A and B are shown apart, each in its own frame.
Chain A
Amino acid sequence: MNVTEANSVVLRKLLIFTVIMFGFGFALVPFYEKICEVTGLNNLLQADTLTENTQVDTARWVTVELDANTHGLPWQFKPLQSSVRVHPGELTQVVYEVRNNSDREINGQAIPSYSPQLLGKYLKKLECFCFSKQVLKPREVRQMPVQFLIEPGLPDDINTVTISYTFFELGNDNTVSLDISASQL
């Protein structure tokens, strides 16, 4: 085998390797999602299930503040009560109301956010409008429940927590059109 042939063999191997690594970059996406699923790190769109009967800690009160935001879509979005007091372990239902102020049908997706961050670990949601996209007809008003409980394991020094939802607009092809021009940034 002369040098030119040997060189093209190496070239071919390395090119194949490059293509594989390019594919590997994309393969990291399902891999990442799988890891998140297995470790339970990022299940925003799935309802939690209660495995055992949780004991209600009636001696303790936690104030849950409810917050609502919209991001770039003409909806009015608010909780019906701004906060609730709950016992850890107690199943609670709160209701959010959303109103489409525009004359077109809009798909929206709510993304939750918790404060303190730690709450994510102890908050179990059995039902939430954030598990699926919401389609609102022009001028439609909708009331949507969130059913949750806070596990009694929540550290003792936390007495007030905040659950916040932000609605993003989904395009017809499920894309978010974040209408922010660079000049606004």
Chain B
Amino acid sequence: MKDDNKQPPKGTWLQIAKAVFWAFFGVRKQSDLDSDASSLTPAQVIIGGLIGAALFVMSLIIVVKIVT
């Protein structure tokens, strides 16, 4: 039904990374959100989120390795 994403996605990797980072923190500016919503596709966000989660897990493991 929704075919309004016809225009090619303009989201760059940097923008995805930023969106995912702020998503993990849970804070996002309204203006940034608007630009995210217009330029990022769900697939990009999901892949970005998974990569972000993997990085998060790895960084935690590194921290744990350092302290033990």
Q: Does chain A touch chain B in the assembled complex, meaning CB atoms less than 8 Å apart?
A: yes
Tell me the B1-20 residues at the A interface (CB within 8 Å).
Answer: 1
Q: Does A185 contact B (CB under 8 A)?
A: no
Q: Taking beta carbons and an 8 Å cutoff, which residues of B are in contact with A?
A: 1
Number of interface residues, chain A, beta carbon within 8 A: 4
Q: How close is B2's CB to chain A, nearest CB, in angstroms? A: 8
Q: How close is A153's CB to chain B, nearest CB, in angstroms? A: 17
Q: Does A2 contact B (CB under 8 A)?
A: yes
Tell me the A1-54 residues at the B interface (CB within 8 Å).
Answer: 1-3, 6
Q: How close is A3's CB to chain B, nearest CB, in angstroms? A: 5
Q: What separation, in Å, do the CA atoms of A3 and B1 have in the docked complex? A: 6
CB nearest to A7 among chain B residues:
B1
Q: What separation, in Å, do the CA atoms of A1 and B1 have in the docked complex? A: 6
Contacts of A2 in B (CB 8 A): 1
Contacts of B1 in A (CB 8 A): 1-3, 6
Q: Mark A90-128, 1 if CB is under 8 A from B, else 0.
A: 000000000000000000000000000000000000000
Contacts of A1 in B (CB 8 A): 1
Contacts of A6 in B (CB 8 A): 1
Q: What separation, in Å, do the CA atoms of A74 and B18 have in the docked complex? A: 66
Q: How close is A12's CB to chain B, nearest CB, in angstroms? A: 16
CB nearest to B2 among chain A residues:
A6
